[in-house]
Structure formats: C-alpha cells, structure tokens
Amino acid sequence: MNKFVFVDCKTVDEALGQMSDGAIVKAGGIDLLDLMKDGIVTPPKLVNIRNISSLQGITAGKDGLHLGPLSTLSEIAAHPEIQKNYTALANAAGHAATPQVRNMATLGGNIMQRPRCWYFRSSEFDCKKKNGASDDCHAHTGENQYHAIMNNETCAMVHPSSTAVPLLAMNAQVELTSKRGKRTVAMSEFYVPPEKSLINETVVQPGELITGVFVPVPEPGTRSAYQKYGEKESFDWPLADAGVVLVMDGTHCRKAWIVLGVAAPTPIRSTAAEAVLTGKTIDEATARAAASAAMKDATPLSQNGFKTQLFQTAIYRTVLLAAGQMQPDPSAIG
C-alpha cells in the first residue's frame, strides 16, 4: 500500500475543501482499503468523512425515506420502517457481505463500490478501464464465469452493489454536493455504462460528495423483495440478484419494477420482464415468463451461460416472494 495523508473531517464543508489533487473520500473504507492493498488505487490523500454527523441518520416520513449516506448497512437492515415499507432495501442491506462488514460499510460507499472483475482488481493486468495500453478485455478471452451476461461488449465487469438494486427499483435519488452547490440525480442516471465511459463509473464528479439518498413514498399496494444467488451463503459475491417492486391489487399486478444486479456492468432494469407482469395476475407461470423475458437478450460469454439460468431463478422466485406467494428462499445467499 502506498503512503498517504489522512484527513479527518467533521463537516461537509471541511471535506469539500480537502477533496482535490487526487484525494479519495473514505467512509467505511471497506472497498477502498482492498483496492489500496491491491495497488489498484494509490491516493495521495484520504478524506475521512466517517465522522461527519450531518451525513448520518435515517428518517422515514410521509414524504419518503431520507438516508444519510453514512447509514451503515446494518442500520438500514434493522430499521423497522424500511423493513416494512422498503423491504427490498432492508433485504439487500441485510444480506450484503458479512455482519462485520455490514457494521462498517455505509450506503454511500456501497453504491460507490468499484466494479468486480478479477482482471480489474489485479495489478498484474492492464486494460483500457485502468487507463492502460492493452486493448484486450481479459474477461472476453479469459476466465469469465463471474462476469456480466448483458451489456458486456465493451467491458464485462459487474457492479456489486446490492443496495443499488432496490434503490433503482424504488426510483431513489442521490443528492450530490460540491463547492458549487447541490444537485440531485436519479438512480436511473447515477451509473455510467462502459460504452459511455470506461473510466467514469458514476456521474459523481471530482469534488462532489454524496450527501443524501432519498427514496419516495411507495404507492399504496407496493410490495418489494430482493434476493441474491451464488456459490455459497457465507460471505460470497452474488452471481445473480434481483430486486422486485410490485404495486399490487390483490394478486393483480398494476406496476412492476425489476432490477438485475450483477448481470451487467451497472444495475439494470428489465423492462421486458416488467412488461410481462404489468396488468397480469402474479402466479408462478407469469413470474417464470417474466424471468425468461428478462434473459431473452442476454449475451453470455464462454463460461457464464449458467448465470442466465441463475438469473431466471432469482427473478421468478423474488417476484413470488415480493407478491407474498413464496417464503424467503433457502437457496438464496447472504
């Protein structure tokens, strides 16, 4: 790990004043320290925002859910209002990583995680994403069992944030603050796909800090769920995950949002799957049809065809879970 300056900030203004010359913001430090230990990022300065009290706290009211970006995943998972009205978010936060990690990891850090790709995360490999000279996507020609099965033509990394999945399904918004002021970005606009930019993974600009995450009040009849699937239950990265938000009228589905996590370089909505459910009665057949529609345009690589099957399972079972027609799946992980 490189030597670096560590600045401990108590206020947002103080932090904004420190965020220059390649400084990286540190909240929980979970992903950042791994990246530093592996030599993937070598910041000269860490701006510690962990102790900024205005970035902490969760309030759930009539106008929606306000999440301080320093809310830990444990706090989100344990929050009664989130469990009740924003269930998928509580599920996603509560099943990420391990209990120890969830106690340290923050919401802001979780959505700002760098992508999972073992070529990206090894300093032995060079690629365009790392500003490198090599034109190759090593995943395309190499070992890609854990890589993206959709939108993977430019870069086959996957985005690992589990909370981003329900946040996207719930039309959340992210508040960004810089010295120039504040702006609000919808989750649907937050991530930048590799075909638009290989370097910028989010719309967050240098000098900008996430100062809030807002989730609007769900429509009456909303039910939601999130589940993830993979190789093992204890501390593993998902190979497929699905966030489902349904607006239900009995068993009739009025509206549906289906978001897939590690299918692509960014969390993506499956409008094809949503279309299958909208206006229909939810049962196993419609849930499976939605799952199948979601995978219709998948473009798996040489070794990850199984992920399309895993996603279909994740989607149909999570739709049924959200609709209250299935218990939480013992085959889900985390």
Partner 1 sequence: MAPQSDATKPAAPNRTETFVWGIPQNGLQSKERQVGRDEPPPLPANSELTYIGKPTERYDGPAKAMGKGKYTADINLPGMLYARMIDATIPHGRIVSIDTSEAEKLPGVRAVHVIEHVYGVAELRDPKMEAPSRYPVIRYYGQPIAGVAAISQQIANDAAQLVKVKYDTLAFVVDRSDARAEDAPMVFPGPADAAGSAGGGGGPKGVPQTGNVHGPQQKKNGDVEKGFAEADVIVEGEYFTQVQTHSALETHGFVVDWKPDEVTVYASTQGTSSVRNEFADVFKLPKNKIRVITEYMGGGFGAKFGAGNEGVVAANLSRKANAPVKLMLDRRQEHIVCNRPDSHQKLKVGAKRDGTLTAIALTSYGTAGVGTGAGTAGPANNMYKCPNILTEEYDVFVNAGPGAAFRAPGHPQGCFAFEQTIDDLAAKLNIDPLTLRETIDENPARKVERQIILERTNWRNRKPAGSDSGPVKRGMGIAQSVWYRFVNMNSSCEVRVSRDGSVELLSAVQDLGTGTKTMLAVIVAEEFGIPPASVGIRIGDTRFPIGPDSGGSVTAGSITPAARNASYQVKQKLFAAVAPQLGTTADNLVLKGGRVAFKNDPSKSYTLKQVTAKMPTDEISAQATRVAEYSKERITYGGVDYVELAVDTETGRVHIEKVFGAHDCGRPINPLGVISQINGGILQGISYALFEQRIMDRNAGYMLNANLENYKILGAREVPEIEVVLVENYIAQSSTDAAGIGESAGIITLAAAIGNAFYNATGVRMRKIPMTPANVLSALGKVQEVQA
E strand map for the chain: 5-8, 24-26, 45-48, 58-61, 64-67, 173-178, 181-186, 209-215, 222-229, 240-249, 252-260, 268-269
Least distance CB 127 / partner 1 (angstroms):
12
CA dist., res. 147 & res. 262, Å (int): 8
In this structure, the number of other CB atoms found within 10 A of the CB of residue 90 comes to: 25
Nearer to partner 1 by C-beta: 9 or 301?
A: 301
Count the Cβ atoms, other than its own, within 10 Å of residue 247: 18
330 lies in the site for partner 1, by CB under 8 A: yes
| Residue 156 contacts partner 1 per CB under 8 A | no
Q: Which stretch in 58-66, 136-144, 163-171, 213-221 sits in contact with partner 1 by CB under 8 A? A: 136-144
What would the x/- binding string for partner 1 be over residues 216 to 255, using CB under 8 A? Answer: -------------xxxxxxxxx-x----------------
- Residues 6+ positions from 235 with CB-CB distance below 8 Å: 97, 98
Spatial distance between the Cα atoms of 96 and 114, rounded to a whole number of angstroms:
15
Among 20, 59, 122, 281, binds partner 1 (CB under 8 A): 122
Residue 206 CB, shortest distance to partner 1, in Å, is 28
327 interacts with partner 1 by CB under 8 A:
no
Q: Is 141 in the site for partner 1 (CB under 8 A)?
A: yes
Q: How far apart are CA 113 and CA 92, in angstroms?
A: 15
Given candidates 61, 62, 124, 250, which one binds partner 1 under the rule CB under 8 A? 124
Look at the chain and count its residues: 334
216's tokens: 């609007």
Q: Which helix (H) or strand (E) holds 164?
A: helix 164-169
Among 125, 128, 272, 326, which residue interacts with partner 1 (rule: CB under 8 A)? 125
The reply to whether 135 sits near partner 1 by the rule CB under 8 A is no
The answer to the question of residue 4 lying near partner 1 (CB under 8 A) is no
Strands lying side by side in the sheet with 5-8: 5-8, 45-48, 24-26
Nearer to partner 1, 8 or 126 (CB): 126
- Least Å distance, CB 87 to partner 1, is 21
Report the interface residues with partner 1, using CB under 8 A: 118-119, 122, 124-125, 138, 141-143, 145-146, 229-237, 239, 302-306, 308-310, 312-313, 330-331
